Each structure stands twice: as C-alpha cells, then as structure tokens.
A and B are shown apart, each in its own frame.
Chain A
Amino acid sequence: MQWRLPVNNIKTFIQDFGWPRIIIFLFLVSLFILAPVVGVRLDASISDVMNRFGQYAILVLALVPMIQSGAGLNFGLALGIVAGLLGSTLSLQLELRSFLGFFGAIGLATPFAVLFGYFYGKLLNKVKGEEMTIAMYVGFSFVMLMCIMWLILPYNNPTMVWGYAGKGLRTTITVEGYWLKILNNFLAIKIGEFFVFPTGLLLFVALCAFLMWVFLKTKTGTAMTAVGSNPDFARASGISADRMRLISVVISTFLGAVGIIVYQQSFGFIQLYTAPNPMVFPAVAAILIGGASINKANIINVIVGTFLFQGLLTMTPSVINSILQTDMSEVIRMIVSNGMILYALTRKTKVSK
C-alpha cells in the first residue's frame, strides 16, 4: 500500500491544476522543442512571446478585481477598451507625442473609464448572479454604439480621419510618429539580430501587477475579497457589498483602458469599430488557463496564464504552419480560448455544488 501515496499526490496535483492546463503547458513545451527542428528561430520566437505577453498582460490583470469581488469574469471589458480608445484617439487629436502622448492617452482615458465603470457597475449590482451574461451583452451593444460615435465625433487630425470625406475615424490608425513602441523601446536590450528584450514594457506590466498586489492587501482590497467570498459575511461586518463591487468594476474598466493603450503602443495601431470585441475572450481565457476560478484570482494566475496563452498563440502559427504548410493559428486560438472558458464555467458548477 506504500506505493499508493505518491500516485495519490500526483492525482491531487493533476486535479488541482487541471488537465487542460497541463495539456496546454506540455503542448507549448513541445512547440519550443520543435521550433528549431522545423527551422523557426528560437531567439526570435522567445522575443515574440515576451512582446505579446507584455501587450496582453494588463488586459488580463484587469479581470482580477471583479473576480475577487464576486462580480465574475469581466466579459464587458470592451467598455474599458473603448475608454482606452477614446483616450488614445484624443491624445493623437491633441498631437501629444512620446511619453507625454502615452501617459496623456491614459490620463484622457481615465475620466471615461471611471464614468463607464460607474454605470456598468451600477447595472451589474442590479443583476447579481447573472453578471457574466449581462456583461457580455453590455460589451457588445456598447461597442456597436461606439461604431456610430467613431463616425460622428468631431475628430479632424488628418492621420486619423478618412481621407476622402475628411471626417469619421478610420478603422485602423497608426501611432507611428506619436508614441509607437514607446514602452517597448525604453531601455530595450537588443541581443543579436532577432532578439529584443522589451524592458520598458515588462517594467510597466510589473508596476501595474505590483500596484494590484498592494491594492489587494489594503483594507479595501481585503474587504473586496471578502465580498467575493461571502457577501453576507461582509455585510454583517459593516461593508457595503454593492460599493465594493462598484469599486472593482471601475478599477477593472480603468485597467482595461490602460491595457489597450499599452497594447496599441506595442502593436503600432489603434483599432476602432468592432475591434474591441475579439480582445475580451482571449483575456478571459488567459486568466483561466493561469489557474483562476470564477471567484478567485491572483497575480500569479495572470502572469502564468498570459504567458501560456500568448506563448501558444505565438508559437503555433510559426511552428505548426511550417509543418502543415497551412494557416491553423486562428483555428487553434479559437479552440483554446473558447475551450478554456467552457472548462472554467463547467468547473464553477462543480465547485458550487
């Protein structure tokens, strides 16, 4: 009977960590091993993975406060992204450049993020238990509303508006000449021809993660976690659950705005109209892959999850496409992100039983 103990340990570990995560992890490792074999440069790949990790990490981090306060996965992250788009387009409109442009974009996005977050939070407080479904539709409909707004808002910077009409924003706007790769290039370390270490980007991500970590340790952060854990307990301890949830939604929306601006400076373009929609699911999938559940998430989940998910997305096209000679990346991205969300939602029912 002695031999049963380690087997049980491994079983518990697998159960806690979850098969999907293990499969994804092993898959990613095998991709890294395969890469040189099929002629994909490893150093370029690693550089790519780090870049994409930095691009997406803050969007994933934005999900943490709402998970902690029990408001569920923020499927309405698009609201924050729209606030970020308003900030960055305004920053371009005002011709702010370099660091002033980047932080100006964040500053200009903040009032919108707080405003959107406030009303979105009020709404979510009215639909307790159904937050995630409602959030998704709020996101979709708001993005559609903004599709109209982007056309009629009085922007007139020639780099942003349609050339033939002189008004209405383009679907894709380059930030080149304003604040392209402002974080990526800050203190960047270049080794050889293909490897760049995006120091500034990762430092900024680390700063945001650190601030979130500190926040969760404050009195308010503690209260927020308690609300997510047991709202009745929190209420009996004199805490307004609605207020805590509202704060978490505002923070989440704000981080969504910051996240998209960080993404834009690295990616190089501001994408408008329906572009915010497909940003949300990958973020949700990433934090779930990282080990978060519907009502518990931490910084480690964010980092591990973003790394695994983005690693997978970066490596699959280059490696798999070299083998199969066909573009499978989009298909794999869909399977992984939606599969992961499905998995997490089924686990929720199992836990609450």
Chain B
Amino acid sequence: MGQTGPLLSVKNVSKEFYGNVVLQDVSFELHEGEILGLVGENGAGKTTLMRILFGMPVIAETGGFKGTIEIDGRPVSFSSPFDALDAGIGMVHQEFSLIPGFSTTENIVLNRESMRPSLLNEVFGERMSILDRTLMRQRSESAIAKLGVTLDPDMLVTEMPVGHKQFTEIAREISRDHSRILVLDEPTAVLTESEAQVLLTSLRRLASEGVAIIFISHRLQEVLDLADRVVVLRDGVVVKDSPTKGLSIRDIASWMVGRSVSGETEQQDSHRTLGEPILTVEHLWVDMPGETVRDVSFSVQRGEIFGIGGLAGQGKLGVPNGIMGLYPAGGLIRLGDRALTLNDPAGALRAGMAFVSEDRRGVGLLLDESLDWNIAFTAMQVHGQYLKSLLGGLIKLRDEKAMAELSQEYINLLDIKCTSHKQKARELSGGNQQKICLAKAFALKPQVLFVSEPTRGIDIGAKKLVLDTLRRYNREYGTTIVMVSSELEELRSICDRIAIVDEGRIAGILPAHRDSADFGLLMAGQVKETHAMEASRE
C-alpha cells in the first residue's frame, strides 16, 4: 500500500477562530518515507494545522474546521488525539510531555506497558497484572536503537539533559507498532548544535524505514538539510510547495515573509562618533540562577549599541537583570556621573534606564490586561505620566485617553498587528508581543535601554523589524542600547562593540566588524583575557 497514492493528504482545510481566519484552503500531500518541512512565520497557522491533524479537542470546541484529511485515500475525522494515535500519527510537541519521575523506559512505553499475569488476575481481572520490566526494556531499547542514539533506558527524566528528553519523546512516538506519520514541532529549538545534528541523522534514518515526517522548524538551514519537500505557510495560506533541491535559505525566507529579505549581516559604519562613557560597570556580580555573573566590568559610550554575547548559561543574561535590580547583585555601576543603587528596580528605572526582559511572557507582559496598560503602565508608575489630576492634584487618576493615544502611536509606529489597543496581550503572536515590550520600554524615554534576547522565538520578518526599530531609535534619539543575544550574527548586524561573556566574566570585547571566528574563539574560552583586551583597544 502507499506506493501509488499519498499516505496523508490534507485537502482544502480552512479554520477560523471567532471569525478570524487562520487557515484558508490548505492542501498538501505526504508520501511514505518523505520528510516534509513546514515553515512559516509565527501566526502563519502551523500550530493550528497540526492541531487539526492531531484531533486536538480545542479545534472541535471552537467550531471544527472545513475540508478533509485523508489517510491512505480514506477520509478520517479525529475527535481526540487518541484517534490520531490509532491512525498512526505520532506527535512531538514543543514542550516536553514526559513524566519527570519516570525512567526513559517507563516514559517510552507509558500506557502500553508489557504485562505479565499474576495471581490476583483470577480475582480482580486484567488490571492486576504485573509489569514485565524485561520486555519493556527490550522494547524501549529497540526504539532507541531505531533512532540511532545512545540513551540510558533507566535514567530518570529529571536527570536527563534537554537533548535526551527530546529523544525520549521521539522514541516514544516511534515505539508504537504502527506509527507511520511523525510530526515534530520545533524539535531542535532546545537542542545544542551537535544534538540537533544527531537528531537530524536519526530522522533521516526513520524516513528511510518508511516513516513519513512533518518537520516544523524556524531554523531554515535544518529544513533545507533534512526535508525532501518544503511547504511554506503565510497568513494561513500555502504560498509554496516545492522540493528542497536547489532552494536557498533566502528563497524560503522571502516566501515566508512575502518580501525579499536583505542579507542578515548588514555591516555597520564602523567609525561612528560616539559620546563620553555613559554607563560604567565595575566588578559586577549577579546571583541569577543559571546565569551567574561573577566579575564583569565594561563601559558603554553615549549613543553606542553595545552587544553582550556568549553561550547559554555563561552569565550574559545576568548582566542586564542584575543592573536593573531584578536579581541580587553587587559591584559599582555609574550612569553618567551618578553611582546607582543596586537591587532597586524602581531606582534603576527612575535613573533613566529601561529593560526589555528575555522572559517576555513571564516578566515582560501583563498577559491578561489590554495593550494600553502594557505599554503605559511602567511610564505611569515610574514617571507619573498618563495620569490626570482631580481636585487640585489631590487625586490622580489613570488618563485612559492619553494611554490610548500613546498605544495607538506605538501600534502604528511598530506595525503591531492587533484588533485595537484594548485587545489582551495574551492574544497577540510572539513577534507582536515583543513589539509591545519594546513599546513599553520606549515609552519610558530611557537614556540607556537594555534589551535581552529581543528576537528569541519570533520569526524572520518580525526579527528584522525589531532590529530595525532598535537601530532607528538609536540613530534618531541617541538612545544608548545594550543588547544581549545568543545569536552572534544578530549582534554583529546591529552593534558597535560586542562583549563575550564566558563563565561569568568578560572574555573579551571586540568591535562588531571583526571576523566571527574571533568571537567564536572567545566563546570557547580559547583566548586569554589579556590578549582580548588588547584586541578591544585597537
């Protein structure tokens, strides 16, 4: 079977949420052993499409969908994920769904454990059977072997590195007897580069055994490397369905955003005139879990865009969080010629600094409040703006009108896609939420703006917009920006100088136009500090 027709075909699928069309007439086919790359910007409808495919109840609750899904040429309709599993569709979600206190084996064969009859069966029936640990172990080992990776079958999930969790989850999906279609939603997002390579290799292996794979990823290079065919979604419509052979990243990227994307690294005009040092940091330590800063000193000049890079967990995120008073910190920080009190978020804001947190949903937004609250709140609390006085200044009330005007201004300026300034922040897509965070910081009119991972988890189009906005603010208002990012290329495209943080210390500060290999060496801890300092002085 399957040699003639497609294994899975999606025909004219449309879906709307409360009148908001998210998928329109989407059709594509998937053949046995084929790897299909599904790409699109945030909010393009990828997740919704996968939810439909997997029979998630949220789809039925919101009015179902139009169109048909066929497996082996027969139309199917799933009312729950269990139906989808029975039909041979396995899904690996962005967030892990593993039981932390269980071992690899137990997670892989969960709810399909091998049983041995016991005495109690006579009385209480099947439910009293005993687990057949040996057989379970064999089954999980065979699933792991099929993946071609090494996993300890007895390791508890809590003790696993992230990569192993991802593999465990995939192993669980392929250990089902009749898994024929595997859907992976951003499986490499949490993996290191080498782990991602291993994953891609095992996926290829699975495909060669006849499993059809739908691979969703933001990392276009991976999609190009792995997929046989790529389907590009834009605003709920399939804009391109083509074999990957001969495509370049730029082709896919431009289909995704619907406009041609200029090269990612725009070289800076390397000799800009910058002002006197505005922010001086000396011997900063920050106790931020997972991102400890031990001893960091640097100084930023007025009007500069200063980058802080480095590998995850080395402490680069701790720097802005410590300076802004969100985590216990010590050291000496001077803004202009004033020394700053540490561990005082209100003081840091009042001094003229602002911070766009890397934890957008956790720290950056009031998800359940309207956009105007999100944008105006900090300025209101810190500078007393957007308040109107009543009774001769005795009572100050929220000035809803001024708040609305402010948010409308930023909605237009940053091209934030929303129904109105009264929409809840939760309902926006990741990129638009990030823009709200930026608007909140801009509304403070800061002298020094810290932005932490401003492009994490948002798509190419929004990324470019965010970076352009930062650059424009820097050029037009002279705002000094300190940007922390894991993506070196992004830092190089916008910053004047970049500091690399390694093990809680600055490994070196280099001008952005230096070769990326130099930065790579700093990240790897290859360069002695003295050497790096020399380089920064050139």
Contacts and interface: CB of A to CB of B under 8 A. Distances in A.
Interface of A: 4, 8, 214, 217-219, 222-223, 225-226, 229-230, 232-233, 235-240, 296
Contacts of A225: 369
Contacts of A4: 63
A229 B424 CA distance: 12
Given A222-B380, A236-B345, A236-B378, 9 more contacts: A8-B63, A218-B396, A219-B381, A226-B373, A229-B366, A236-B324, A237-B377, A237-B378, A238-B350
A233 B355 CA distance: 11
B116 to A, nearest CB: 36
A87 B396 CA distance: 31
Q: How large is the interface on B (under 10, 10 to 19, 20 to 34, 35 or more residues)?
A: 20 to 34
Interface string B363-375: 1111111000100
Contacts of A222: 373, 377, 380-381, 398
Nearest to A4: B63
A226 B377 contact: yes
Contacts of A226: 366, 369, 373, 377
B382 interface: yes
B443 to A, nearest CB: 11
B401 to A, nearest CB: 13
Nearest to B390: A214
B348 to A, nearest CB: 8
Given A8-B63, A237-B345, A238-B346, A223 B381 contact: yes
B275 interface: no
A189 B34 CA distance: 82
B346 A239 contact: yes
A238 B345 contact: yes
B535 interface: no
Determine chain A's interface SS by DSSP, over half rule: helix
Nearest to A215: B395
B381 A214 contact: no
Nearest to A225: B369
B66 to A, nearest CB: 9
B527 interface: no
B63 A233 contact: no
Interface of B: 63, 324, 326, 345-350, 355, 357, 359, 362-369, 373, 377-378, 380-382, 384, 387, 395-398
A218 B373 contact: no
B153 to A, nearest CB: 31
Nearest to B348: A238
B369 A237 contact: no
Contacts of A240: 346
Q: List the 8 closest pairs (A to B, CB-CB), nearest first.
A: A238-B346, A237-B378, A232-B363, A238-B345, A217-B397, A238-B349, A229-B366, A217-B398
A233 B364 contact: yes
A229 B365 CA distance: 9
Contacts of A296: 368
A232 B346 CA distance: 13
B326 A237 contact: no
B380 A233 contact: no
Nearest to B349: A238
Given A222-B377, A236-B357, A214 B345 contact: no
B366 A236 contact: no
Contacts of B365: 230, 233
26 contacts: A8-B63, A214-B397, A217-B397, A218-B395, A218-B397, A218-B398, A219-B381, A222-B380, A222-B398, A225-B369, A226-B377, A230-B368, A233-B363, A235-B345, A235-B363, A236-B345, A236-B357, A236-B363, A237-B345, A237-B349, A238-B348, A238-B381, A238-B382, A239-B346, A240-B346, A296-B368
B398 to A, nearest CB: 5
Contact of B387 (A219, A230, A239): A219
> Which of A232, A236, A238 has most B Cβ within 10 Å?
A236
A232 B362 contact: yes
Contacts of B384: 219
Contacts of A218: 395-398
A101 B363 CA distance: 49
Nearest to A233: B366
Contacts of B355: 236
A222 B382 CA distance: 13
B38 to A, nearest CB: 27
Given A233-B364, A233-B365, A219 B326 contact: no
A29 B326 CA distance: 53
Contact of A239 (B347, B364, B381, B395): B381
A225 B350 CA distance: 21
Nearest to A222: B398
A8 B60 CA distance: 12
A122 to B, nearest CB: 21
A237 B354 CA distance: 9
B63 to A, nearest CB: 6
